Amino acid sequence: MSCEACATLVQKALSKIPGVDHCTVSYDAAEANCVVNSAGSLGSELLVRAVETVGYMGTQTSLNEPSFSARFAVSSTGGF
């Protein structure tokens, strides 16, 4: 990601997922942090796919339970 608009695009894609309570994306740090309301009903694969649908690669870097917050590295696939 190279700008705030890129981060906003990723944040909107992640926030549309049912079960995501809060999501922040930093283009400076090239990461997204999401808090979801239930670890059992929402896997990290779904979050990664949402990042990929807007043209970026997502890689889970951490997962904290029981609050179930996930951190992802976000990088460009070359299309943006």
Average pLDDT over residues 1-15: 89
| pLDDT confidence bin for 12, thresholds 50/70/90 | very high
Instruction: Please answer whether residues 53 and 13 qualify as being in contact, where contact means their C-beta atoms are separated by less than 8 angstroms.
Output: yes
pLDDT of residue 13: 93
Average pLDDT over residues 44-70: 77
Token pair, residue 57, equals 């690669």
The structural domains of the chain, ordered by start, are: 4-76 (3.30.1360.100)
Residue partners of 10: CB distance under 8 A and separation at least 6: 1, 25, 32, 51, 54, 56, 74
Q: Which residue has the higher pLDDT, 50 or 42?
A: 50
Task: Measure the N-to-C terminal CA separation of the chain; round to a whole number of Å.
Answer: 8
**Cα gap 42→9, rounded to integer Å:** 21
pLDDT of residue 80: 47
